[in-house]
């Protein structure tokens, strides 16, 4: 295989959008949205029902709309992933005999649930058998066979003609167990006794609290649980998909830590084996996973999950590895943020982005549930094709060849089985399991910092697929390893012991970085003592690992040098016939790195430029080695292709190397010196109101989101009026009020009745503008809106909210849009996390000539759209050996587009925010425009979190004051007690300080 650069990779490399179908589905709108996704570079969609769906799920109407999606996607060469008819944890009308069964341990005084059957009592707990409604028994083959007939065959029967064609995959979300309980089944008891020779029924207590025998019992139990889980669920779903030409895809639950992995899935890696397209998910904008602990006390680097999945993919030849990214982060997510997260995943072997998510609608609560909206509602959407192209090229590159692995790390999940305590799950305390987890995480980070390519080896998989080949390497499927590294382990399988004995006998290198295992299948073993004598014992450090794996630096196919920044330089390498692809990433958040790549095995080096898709020759050397040098800004990367031949391929462009570059002129222009204009209407979100029920007196002013909560808690049904007041110091040139479901309201503006009259929607199809310019007065303005209210009804069970059509009314903020400015006073309270903090007393006023470098303080705190900064630059003739570069300083936005004399010269989507504009400038005067585009964040919030902007946003809790997302502290009557800030709410507004500080134009000469 030879690397062939592609400028515009096809749909197979363009990732997939998690398309949340969360309102009434209509053919025309489905088609229109698919077209916008296609134009933005999307290659496939997961047609996922979600909170707010108003088309009856699996009805004739719904299935016809799904047919439209498949047909319209196919016309655009896009693939469709179907969701399982019902996910394993959300099945209505599930037969009693197919329900999940668990053992729960009840403390003294803890009430049994209806149907609980007492199995055992001791001095600590009462142990009961409990059935879980709406959850399928994942250990029961017959239950799963019935589930497949009911939730796969029956819903999608009419789609079979598109299987393997337009319908590419069935996507599954988190088949999981209950980590605080112990899964149970009759078959498990039978298999346990057959395998281990004693009755599990007699050892139930060992599964919940520790004793001399509990480690062994738990280890034995989880081994059987995993086998049954695979046989019942994963084998059957995988077979169902394969027989129909479909890819089984999706992701698991809790893969990020050993304890959560055991509790939710037993072990992740063996399960990935059965997915034709294995995947993971990564939530929030943080690359340290908090394990649902927002305080950060338990956070660890997010490395185990991607490495587990990519390891199986490498070993089993699965070319594509998917990651669901960006969910529950923030509406403020920028292209730079997306790049940082996706490239971190890519350097760990994840080569296919799944965008979480593109939302069909933002009406009502839909705008707050699991943001951000990565779809046309964002003001940056027109520029998103640039990001899609970049990652399509990266995906294409990382699909080529095979992974170059230096080492195999034996995964400690089975050693962790015996230390897992269901009742201690997720508690903030140090245990032997958490120490083991941290040691594996640190080992993985150290290996990446040492530029050592590695995979994890799972013992369940290895028992079936691993062998020592004639060259003394351990081979697992398509991968072979000459070095094996043992992390902290307590026990290993008999099959692993025999494999390692043969491995070291034939000269393999065995390294231990912690305590050597002492047990084989939980039994003492003298063979381990003999094996330990042949192992290299080292510290778990980058330097020790580098020295142990590569005693001589020359042994590397490609040497990486980066001085003091070497530990921040991570690499991912793939081997082609006579080529080696080296993907290099600077993972330092703040420091640039000067990097050298050196190889004695190859004769030339080329860069596959992800910005353009071109292959650029960097060096070609007839002698014994080739070396290239370059700098990487924080989170900047390069894809370098080394090859053994020196002749340049036809598709490469030769560039000169080693010439000096001299700065001969520079001009700086600040934002205050530039003209400035809006490209979109300004906005003001009105999220406080007074309300009344029927003819009752009005309430005091409260947040609109609180009105919904109050009326829902009261179960009120009847007329409700919302009264929004705002102050105007000057009359706006134009103004409209934007109302969701405007047709259902009787609306008065300063006493005059108005109605929606067909103006184009604002941001989302449900955001309907009503012209009110002539009705605005200086001073106080009042908008009154009356409609009949009934609360949203609760679903029958938790996961039903993903597909159930829930009747009820949603009361929402309204928006003023038009030609005006919004001014406020800085709060005396502490501003946090990149935010401006303004008091609630905001006023409509006249616009100034320029908002400068800070939009919120310049009159545009809620603005969502593009600002255009304009200046003039005069250039002399540009000589052939000269170039002109523009750089942006203090850019706080999602993307900036540079236009020279009306023509687009460059998109600046991420640091270092520089562009060569030589070919665009002309002699004399040139008009330079910087089109700066932000996000939905300042329009939609959350505005009132006391922590300001965070890197996570978990739905309603992040917008309401009723519960702190960080601590879980509840404030039941929060809306009536807002004089002081709580952990969940402040009346002040937090706005991200979008803007541009200025530009710098540099003239360079190569002389």
Per-domain residue ranges of the chain:
407-552, 559-657
Q: What does the block give as tokens for 499?
A: 């494999």
CA 83 → CA 45, 359, 366, 373, distances in Å?
A: 11, 16, 20, 20
State residue 26's pLDDT score.
Answer: 98
Q: Taking CA 275 as the corner, what is the angle to CA 272 and CA 277, rounded to the nearest 5 degrees?
A: 105
Averages of pLDDT over runs of 10 residues in the chain (1007 residues) are 89 97 98 98 98 96 98 98 93 94 95 95 96 96 97 94 96 95 97 97 96 97 98 98 98 95 97 98 91 62 98 98 97 98 98 98 97 97 98 98 97 97 76 92 98 98 97 96 97 98 97 94 95 96 95 83 96 96 97 95 95 94 87 97 75 47 94 96 98 98 98 98 98 98 97 97 98 98 98 89 94 98 94 91 94 93 98 94 96 98 97 96 97 98 95 91 91 94 96 97 91
Q: Which residue has the tokens 């799972």?
A: 458
665 contacts: CB under 8 Å, gap ≥ 6: 1002, 1003
State residue 657's pLDDT score.
Answer: 41
Distance CA 639, CA 786 (A): 59
Distance CA 415, CA 222 (A): 11
Sign of the C-alpha dihedral computed for residues 881, 884, 889 and 893 taken in this order: negative
State residue 291's pLDDT score.
Answer: 57
Query: Which of these, 506, 488, 486, 511, lies nearest to 496 by C-alpha position?
Result: 486
Distance CA 494, CA 499 (A): 9
State residue 296's pLDDT score.
Answer: 55
| Consecutive H or E run containing 414 | helix 413-417
**What are the backbone dihedrals phi and psi of residue 261, each rounded to the nearest 5 degrees, phi first?**
-65, -45
Q: Quote the radius of gyration of the chain (alpha carbons, Å).
A: 30
Q: Are 586 and 347 in contact (CB under 8 A)?
A: no
Distance CA 809, CA 740 (A): 11
State residue 299's pLDDT score.
Answer: 82
Distance CA 275, CA 739 (A): 45
Sign of the C-alpha dihedral computed for residues 757, 762, 768 and 774 taken in this order: negative
Strand order of the sheet with strand 593-599? 559-561, 593-599, 626-632
Q: Are 226 and 262 in contact (CB under 8 A)?
A: no
Q: Are 835 and 829 in contact (CB under 8 A)?
A: no
Helices 494-505 and 526-533: crossing angle, nearest 10°? 30
Q: What is the DSSP letter of 995?
A: B
Q: Are 41 and 391 in contact (CB under 8 A)?
A: no
Cis peptide before 357 (omega within 30 of 0): yes
In this prediction the pTM is 0.97
Distance CA 910, CA 627 (A): 28
Q: Are 363 and 982 in contact (CB under 8 A)?
A: no
Query: Which CATH number fits the domain 407-552, given the four candidates 3.30.70, 3.40.50, 3.90.1690, 2.60.40?
Result: 3.40.50
- Tabulate helix, strand, coil % of the chain (nearest 5): 30, 30, 40
96 contacts: CB under 8 Å, gap ≥ 6: 131
State residue 615's pLDDT score.
Answer: 95
State residue 418's pLDDT score.
Answer: 97
Distance CA 476, CA 88 (A): 31
295 class by beta-carbon count within 10 Å (0-12 exposed, 13-18 middle, 19+ buried): exposed
Strand order of the sheet with strand 814-819? 682-686, 814-819, 734-740, 767-771
Q: At 280, is the secondary structure helix, strand, or coil? A: strand
Task: Decide yes or no: CATH 2.102.10.10 for domain 559-657.
Answer: no
Distance CA 231, CA 657 (A): 58
């Amino acid at each position: 295989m030879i690397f062939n650069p592609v400028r515009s990779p096809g749909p197979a490399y363009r990732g997939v959008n998690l398309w949340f179908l969360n309102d009434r589905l209509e053919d025309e709108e489905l088609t229109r949205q698919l077209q916008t996704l296609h134009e933005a570079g999307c290659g496939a969609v997961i047609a996922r029902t979600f909170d707010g769906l108003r088309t009856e799920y699996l009805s004739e109407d719904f299935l016809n709309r799904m047919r439209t999606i498949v047909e319209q996607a196919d016309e655009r060469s896009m693939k469709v992933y179907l969701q399982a008819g019902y996910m394993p944890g959300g099945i209505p009308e599930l037969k009693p005999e197919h329900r999940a069964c668990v053992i729960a341990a009840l403390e003294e005084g803890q009430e049994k649930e209806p149907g609980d059957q007492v199995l055992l009592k001791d001095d600590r707990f009462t142990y009961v058998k409990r059935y879980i409604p709406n959850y399928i028994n994942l250990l029961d083959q017959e239950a799963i066979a019935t589930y497949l007939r009911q939730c796969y065959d029956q819903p999608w029967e009419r789609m079979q003609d598109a299987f393997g064609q337009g319908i590419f995959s069935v996507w599954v979300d988190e088949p999981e167990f209950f980590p605080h309980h112990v899964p149970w089944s009759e078959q498990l008891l039978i298999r346990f006794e057959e395998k281990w020779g004693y009755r599990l029924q007699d050892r139930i207590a060992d599964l919940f609290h520790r004793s001399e025998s509990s480690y062994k019992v738990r280890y034995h139990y989880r081994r059987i649980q995993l086998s049954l889980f695979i046989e019942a669920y994963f084998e059957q779903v995988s077979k169902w998909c394969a027989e129909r030409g479909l890819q089984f895809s999706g992701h698991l639950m809790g893969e990020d830590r050993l304890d959560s992995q055991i509790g939710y899935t037993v072990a992740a890696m063996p399960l990935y084996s059965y997915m034709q397209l294995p995947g993971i998910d990564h939530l929030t904008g943080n690359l340290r996973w908090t394990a649902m602990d927002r305080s950060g006390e338990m956070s660890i680097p997010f490395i185990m999950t991607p490495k587990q999945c990519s390891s199986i993919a490498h070993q089993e030849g699965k070319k594509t590895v998917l990651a669901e990214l960006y969910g529950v982060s923030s509406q403020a997510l920028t292209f730079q943020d997306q790049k940082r997260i996706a490239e971190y995943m890519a350097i760990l072997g994840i080569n296919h982005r799944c965008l979480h998510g593109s939302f069909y609608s933002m009406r009502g609560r839909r705008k707050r549930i699991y943001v951000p909206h990565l779809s046309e509602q964002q003001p940056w959407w027109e520029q998103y094709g640039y990001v899609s192209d970049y990652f399509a090229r990266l995906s294409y590159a990382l699909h080529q060849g095979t992974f170059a692995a230096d080492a195999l790390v034996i995964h400690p999940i089975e050693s962790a089985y015996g230390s897992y305590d269901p009742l201690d799950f997720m508690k903030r305390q140090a245990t032997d399991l958490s120490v083991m987890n941290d040691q594996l995480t640190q080992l993985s980070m150290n290996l990446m910092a040492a530029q050592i390519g590695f995979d994890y080896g799972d013992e369940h998989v290895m028992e079936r697929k691993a062998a020592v080949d004639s060259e003394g390497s351990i081979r697992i499927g398509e991968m072979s390893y000459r070095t094996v590294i043992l992390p902290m382990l307590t026990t290993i399988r008999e099959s692993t012991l025999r494999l390692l004995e043969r491995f070291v006998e034939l000269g393999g290198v065995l390294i231990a970085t912690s305590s050597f295992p002492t047990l084989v299948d939980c039994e003492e073993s003298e063979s381990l003592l003999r094996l330990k004598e042949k192992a290299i014992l080292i510290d778990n450090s980058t330097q020790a690992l580098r020295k142990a794996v590569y005693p001589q630096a020359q042994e590397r196919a490609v040497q990486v040098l980066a001085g003091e920044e070497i530990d921040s330089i991570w690499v991912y390498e793939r081997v082609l016939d006579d080529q080696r692809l080296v993907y290099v990433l600077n993972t330092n958040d703040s420091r640039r790195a000067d990097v050298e790549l050196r190889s004695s095995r190859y004769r030339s080096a080329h860069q596959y430029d992800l910005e353009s898709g071109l292959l650029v020759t960097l060096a070609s050397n007839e002698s014994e080695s080739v070396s290239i040098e370059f700098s990487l800004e924080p989170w900047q990367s390069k894809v370098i292709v080394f090859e053994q031949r020196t002749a340049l391929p036809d598709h490469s462009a030769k560039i000169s190397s080693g010439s000096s570059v001299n700065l001969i002129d520079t001009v700086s222009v600040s934002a205050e010196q530039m003209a400035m204009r809006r490209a979109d209407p300004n906005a003001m979100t009105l999220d406080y109101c007074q309300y009344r029920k029927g003819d009752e007196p009005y309430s005091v002013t409260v947040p609109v989101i609180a009105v919904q909560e109050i009326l829902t808690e009261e179960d009120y049904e009847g007329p409700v009026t919302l009264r929004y007041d705002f102050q105007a110091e000057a009359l706006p040139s134009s103004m409209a009020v934007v109302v969701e479901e405007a047709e259902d309201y009787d609306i008065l503006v300063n006493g005059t009745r108005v109605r929606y009259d067909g103006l184009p929607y604002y941001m989302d199809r449900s955001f309907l503008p009503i012209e009110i310019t002539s009705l605005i007065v200086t001073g106080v303005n009042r908008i009154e809106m009356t409609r009949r209210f009934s609360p949203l009804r609760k679903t029958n069970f938790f996961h039903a909210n993903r597909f159930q059509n829930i009747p009820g009314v949603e009361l929402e903020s309204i928006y003023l849009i038009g030609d005006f400015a919004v001014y406020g006073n800085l709060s005396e309270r502490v501003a946090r996390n990149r935010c401006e903090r303004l008091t609630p007393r905001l006023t409509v006023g006249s616009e100034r000539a320029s908002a400068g470098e800070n939009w919120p303080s310049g009159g545009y705190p809620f603005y969502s759209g593009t600002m255009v900064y304009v200046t003039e630059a005069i250039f002399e003739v540009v000589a052939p050996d000269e170039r002109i570069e523009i750089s942006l300083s203090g850019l706080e936005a999602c993307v900036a587009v540079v236009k020279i004399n009306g023509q687009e010269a460059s998109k600046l989507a991420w640091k270092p925010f520089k562009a060569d504009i030589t070919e665009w400038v002309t002699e004399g005067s040139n008009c330079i425009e910087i089109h700066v585009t932000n996000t939905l964040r300042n329009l939609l919030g959350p505005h009132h979190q006391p922590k300001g902007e965070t890197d996570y946003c978990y739905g309603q809790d992040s917008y309401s004051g009723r519960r702190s997302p960080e601590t879980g502290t509840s404030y039941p009557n929060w809306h009536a007690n807002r004089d002081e800030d709580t952990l969940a709410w402040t009346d002040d507004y937090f706005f991200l300080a979008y803007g541009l500080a200025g530009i710098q134009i540099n003239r360079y000469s190569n002389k």
